[in-house]
Chains A and B, each alone.
Chain A
């Protein structure tokens, strides 16, 4: 191996592994053909290779210049979003459990204690319709559920709370996915039926932790950790599409963690709360290529 080839190989080593495996030898051939009688890579070639490597790494990590088909992301969301949304009922279920344990279910002021219960009921219907592969009906119900969350967030003062913005976002994006994306069937082709089971178990686990471990610090941290691991396992942690679909499903965790991070450090005016908790996750989704955006090629 010549010194030139050795140096080019070292530069090509900077590229993402999949690109190196697919194109490394081919690029090396092009570089050696272009080199003429040069014995070492020129600085322009070296800088160009380093820049190309950085670009491709950025594409893979944050989809900075595209590279992720949003339709595929939304197909997975169409399949798994309705199930992920069921975890939103955790607080309402905890309240319900408390009144049941107190033996006073009949005296419970429903509209004050669980104003969001009807909305989660709608999402349960969405999940059932989606599992039964009734896409159109599921889409219509999802819009009703999403509208319910928006009403709760902005009209019902009892329910709105910044960390819950994630449920509004995931709800709306699930409705969008069921309406316009390739559909849950395409999502099933990508992640398989096993993903539905994995996510259902995850939702059951996080809901149980939320209901039974309410007030327990370990349970309160374990629930989001289980949600992250479960969503990634269901969507496919090795796939760029899967990681982004998981991110959409995990928006409620994201906003809850954001609220925890901000608590005590910044006092956000109530008027700005919705903007911060709704806009920031959307910016993250856009930056990571999980939402449609215009890209110049």
Chain B
């Protein structure tokens, strides 16, 4: 069973693949961009995660290309992966909203 909150690398990989298929190096660069340079994923972590996500059916191979004599495999988000990412976004959004509301209440009430 795959449940609960997503780990950050998983969330970022799914996000990187949300709007287009990407190859491994592309995903690494995109994750740096998405996280404003805060998260730098490395190949070992990326491919261990892709292995898990493929098994879970959230990510699938889209196509393969050979560039400069090297294999480049593109990964895409599956419908199940997109649904899981959407659920995670809703979960985080609900928590963020609750946190914002309470912080606003704290400021309005002048609680020290």
Q: Within A276-297, which residues are at the interface with B (CB < 8 Å)?
A: 292-297
Complex Cα gap A54–B62 (Å): 27
**Which of B45-53, B90-98, B101-109 touches A?**
B45-53
Judged by a CB distance under 8 angstroms, whether B70 is at the interface is: yes
Judged by a CB distance under 8 angstroms, whether B1 is at the interface is: yes
Look across to chain A and name the residue whose beta carbon is closest to the beta carbon of B40.
A44
Judged by a CB distance under 8 angstroms, whether B6 is at the interface is: yes
Judged by a CB distance under 8 angstroms, whether A27 is at the interface is: yes
Judged by a CB distance under 8 angstroms, whether A228 is at the interface is: no
**Contact among B7, B28, B48, B53 for A30, CB-based, below 8 A:** B28
Q: How far is the CB of A265 from chain B (nearest CB, A)?
A: 36
Judged by a CB distance under 8 angstroms, whether B44 is at the interface is: yes
Q: How far is the CB of A289 from chain B (nearest CB, A)?
A: 11
Complex Cα gap A111–B7 (Å): 57
The A/B interface has a contact count, at CB < 8 Å, of 93
Judged by a CB distance under 8 angstroms, whether A23 is at the interface is: yes
Q: Within A8-29, which residues are at the interface with B (CB < 8 Å)?
A: 19, 23, 25-29
Interface of A (DSSP majority class): helix
State whether A296 touches B51 (Cβ < 8 A): no
State whether B7 touches A296 (Cβ < 8 A): yes
Interface string of B66-80 (1 = CB under 8 A from A): 010011110000000
Tally of A interface residues using CB under 8 Å:
33
**Contact among A27, A50, A51, A297 for B2, CB-based, below 8 A:** A297
Tally of B interface residues using CB under 8 Å:
30
Q: Which residues of A contact B43 (CB under 8 A)?
A: 27, 30-31, 34, 45, 48-49, 52
Look across to chain A and name the residue whose beta carbon is closest to the beta carbon of B50.
A23
Interface string of B13-50 (1 = CB under 8 A from A): 00000000001110010000000000000111111100
Q: Which residues of B contact A26 (CB under 8 A)?
A: 24, 70-73
State whether A67 touches B55 (Cβ < 8 A): yes
Judged by a CB distance under 8 angstroms, whether B89 is at the interface is: no
State whether A66 touches B42 (Cβ < 8 A): no
Q: Within A34-48, which residues are at the interface with B (CB < 8 Å)?
A: 34, 44-45, 48
Judged by a CB distance under 8 angstroms, whether B56 is at the interface is: yes
Q: Which residues of A contact B72 (CB under 8 A)?
A: 26, 29
Interface string of A61-77 (1 = CB under 8 A from B): 00001110100000000
Judged by a CB distance under 8 angstroms, whether A189 is at the interface is: no
Q: How far is the CB of B39 from chain A (nearest CB, A)?
A: 13
Q: Which residues of A contact B56 (CB under 8 A)?
A: 66, 297
Q: How far is the CB of B7 from chain A (nearest CB, A)?
A: 6
Look across to chain A and name the residue whose beta carbon is closest to the beta carbon of B53.
A297
State whether A49 touches B44 (Cβ < 8 A): yes
State whether B4 touches A27 (Cβ < 8 A): no
Complex Cα gap A28–B68 (Å): 13
Q: Which residues of A contact B7 (CB under 8 A)?
A: 296-297
Complex Cα gap A265–B26 (Å): 58
- 18 A-B pairs in the complex with CB atoms less than 8 angstroms apart: A26-B73, A27-B43, A30-B24, A48-B43, A48-B44, A48-B45, A51-B48, A52-B47, A65-B52, A66-B55, A69-B55, A293-B1, A294-B4, A295-B3, A296-B2, A296-B3, A297-B2, A297-B53
Residues of B that sit less than 8 Å from A by CB: 1-7, 10, 23-25, 28, 42-48, 51-53, 55-56, 58, 67, 70-73
15 more CB-based (< 8 A) A-B contacts, given A25-B71, A50-B44, A52-B48 = A23-B73, A27-B24, A28-B70, A45-B44, A48-B42, A48-B43, A52-B45, A52-B47, A66-B2, A69-B55, A295-B2, A296-B2, A296-B5, A296-B6, A297-B10
